[in-house]
């Protein structure tokens, strides 16, 4: 698989947006199916996975943290902040305290001590 450079990160040219694994308006996968899909993607060379706190809220980050655990050193996980507060209520905020609380929550849900890629979206969600 071709590779791309994102700053200091090297990732597969194809990434997997993980929202639909367990959070979507239509059908989603059960936990075991979602984990199998992520692990198969890794086997096929995908190394970039994108999630967000707002998906669930929070449940998608837990799933994306768990799914690639056996090969965590081979993948890059991106997540977003600033769309929900720590209780899961929708907000659009970049207050420093919310960023700190949100990031600490993401560390725990993803099961990591460092964040590969953390960003705040520049758009207003419509749902």
| Catalytic choice (23, 48, 49, 55) | 55
| 119 annotated active-site | no
Q: How much helix, strand and coil, in percent to the nearest 5, is found in the chain?
A: 35, 20, 45
What tokens appear for 14 in the block?
């194809």
Catalytic residues: 55
């Amino acid at each position: 698989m071709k590779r791309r450079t994102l700053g200091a990160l090297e990732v597969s040219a194809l990434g997997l947006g993980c929202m639909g694994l367990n959070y979507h308006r239509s059908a989603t996968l059960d936990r075991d199916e979602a984990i199998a899909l992520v692990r198969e993607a890794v086997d096929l060379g995908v190394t970039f996975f994108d999630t967000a706190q707002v998906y669930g809220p929070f449940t998608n980050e837990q799933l994306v943290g768990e799914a690639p655990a056996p090969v965590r050193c081979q993948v890059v996980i991106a997540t977003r902040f600033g769309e929900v507060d720590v209780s899961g209520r929708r907000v659009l905020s970049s207050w420093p305290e919310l960023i700190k609380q949100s990031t600490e929550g993401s560390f725990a849900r993803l099961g990591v001590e460092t964040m590969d890629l953390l960003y705040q979206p520049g758009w207003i969600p419509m749902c």
